[in-house]
Structure 1
Amino acid sequence: MSNLFKKIFSQNLKPEPQKGPQGKPHRGKYMPDEKSPADERFTKHFILNGGKFLYCVDMNEVQESFDNILLENDWYENEVFCIDDNLAASFKGYNLNFGKSQEASFLLSTCENLVADDGSLLICSNQIKEKKLKELPQDFVIFATTSQIVNNIGEGLRGIKSKNTKSIPTNITTIKNFEPDGVSKDFMSYGSSAKNLYLLLLEDL
């Protein structure tokens, strides 16, 4: 897995739309092959969507990358929107104030799945309760693992259902656009504002 990500990040991942001989769309140089592994497809789509990707081989690298995010954005000692007590405990060494205010500097959360087909993140009430995306801070920091990568949204939804047999989570939605001033047009998050998103991805396979 680590060799895959080194290969991906050694490339310049800017899309270059081209036309084939009959005017049909031609797959760009940096677009993932339709039959390529799910992790490769997710990574390339996510970056092309504008997401900020930080691949980590262990929790020490996760903490280092998180520290760099705080430094880059001057978020030390700021308020953070986070409803996951376990996650807050994992990042407690930065003098952050964990709460649920919409005025927080950024949201810190996990997600349900990472969707390979379009580079989106699948979230639900487990992460954001019943809040709409537009009611949350503009900046997201998401912690996820490579085992959470699925091929498509349908696979992710089936996984949510199988893990929550007694009570299926509500407010299931996707985050797909990570460009400033962008607007998501995905049917599961239609009309919601795009988010500036950092992904801390931990290798666990």
Structure 2
Amino acid sequence: MGFLNKIFGKKNKDETTNLDFYNEGEEEDVAFARKFKAGGGMFFYCINREESLHYLQEILKNEDISEVLCVDPKLISMINLLDCNYSTQSTGDQDIALINCEYLVALDGSIMISSDQTHHLKKSDLPKKIIVWATPSQIISSSSVGLAKIRYAKKNNIPSNITSIHGNQVQGFSSISTAKKLYLLLVEE
């Protein structure tokens, strides 16, 4: 009878309370940061652009980066301030990519990106290390909310290749081959 109970009913209290979503009442920004870090992401909260430049420089120095892949003109201006080599075209030789994102997903700590950020590169073609520059206003509750916002905001020009990236410690078979070493610079607006 114990076998049938395991299949059809009588759930353990531990099984019903051990859901891996964010806690009820937990703020979305706190939930995102907790899940992002648990998945192997490195989180840097920045009070302004100057502090984000400091952290960016430290990341590039600590990772011993020789060339950055970056296609966003605003982010390129930041790289220029740091006097770092960059390329706007993927050659496969770049050590790291600096991108922005569509949204930060609180439900699972992932970062939603599209062809607008990756210049039409597939997730698997991006460097193994990625620095994402984002703001707190980009934190949303779930991927479905992000997709709805993209459809609404960009209804005449919906980007292709909308996907999510995770840190390199995410559990699950689907993310193993595309897991990245992720840095997030969350910059106050």
Which TM-score bucket, shorter chain as reference?
A: 0.7 to 0.9
Q: Which amino acid aligns with 2:153?
A: K
Q: Report Cα offsets for 1:39-61 as digits up to 9, x if no partner.
A: 11101110111100000011111
The separation in 1 between residues aligned to 2:92 and 2:172, in whole angstroms, is 19
Deviation, structure 1 residue 162:
1.8
What's 1:89 paired with? 77
Describe the SS at the equivalent of 2:81.
coil
What's 1:168 paired with? 158
CA contact (8 A) 2:28 2:139 kept: yes
**TM-score calculated relative to the size of structure 2:** 0.84
What's 2:187 paired with? 202
CA contact (8 A) 1:45 1:116 kept: yes
Aligned mate of 1:98, from 51, 70, 86:
86
Q: Does 1:51 align with 2:36?
A: no
Greater alpha carbon shift after TM alignment, 192-201 vs 91-100: 91-100
Q: Which amino acid aligns with 2:180?
A: K
The separation in 1 between residues aligned to 2:14 and 2:58, in whole angstroms, is 45
CA contact (8 A) 2:22 2:107 kept: no
CA contact (8 A) 1:115 1:149 kept: yes
Q: Report Cα offsets for 1:3-59 as digits up to 9, x if no partner.
A: xxxxxxxxxxxxxxxxx964425449xx84233111111011101111000000111
Which structure 1 residue ranges, 5 or more long, are not aligned? 1-19
Q: Does 1:41 align with 2:26?
A: no
Which structure 2 residue ranges, 5 or more long, are not aligned? 1-10
Structure with more of its chain in helix, by fraction: 2
CA contact (8 A) 1:143 1:200 kept: yes
Q: Which amino acid aligns with 1:203?
A: E
Matches within 5 A, 1:52-201: 52-75=42-65, 78-99=66-87, 100=89, 101-179=91-169, 185=174, 192-201=177-186
The 1:23–1:158 alpha-carbon spacing in structure 2 relative to 1, beyond 3 Å, is closer
CA contact (8 A) 1:184 1:193 kept: no
**TM-score calculated relative to the size of structure 1:** 0.78
